[in-house]
Amino acid sequence: MNALSIVFPTAVNQVCRWHIEQNILKNCRKYFNNVADFDASWAQLRPLSVRWIESPRQSRWKN
């Protein structure tokens, strides 16, 4: 059990979009031959990752 769950037992632990993006950038660049290829792929992937991260949070706020 961690300190967050002890001090705030009803708190929801959320993911940080910035940290997720930093991990994607750090771990995925090595699979591309050059910066241009990575940037083109990242431009397509980023909107999908934002939607994936935001959708659970938005559905929780609706309830």
* Residue 1 to residue 61: CA distance in whole angstroms: 26
The pLDDT value recorded for residue 31 is 92
- pTM of the prediction? 0.51
pLDDT-derived band at 56 (thresholds 50, 70, 90) equals low
Note the pLDDT tens digit of each residue in 9-32: 887 767 777 888 889 888 988 999
- Looking at every residue in the chain, the average pLDDT score rounds to 80
The pLDDT value recorded for residue 36 is 94
Q: Helices in 1-63 by DSSP H: which ranges?
A: 3-7, 17-28, 35-62
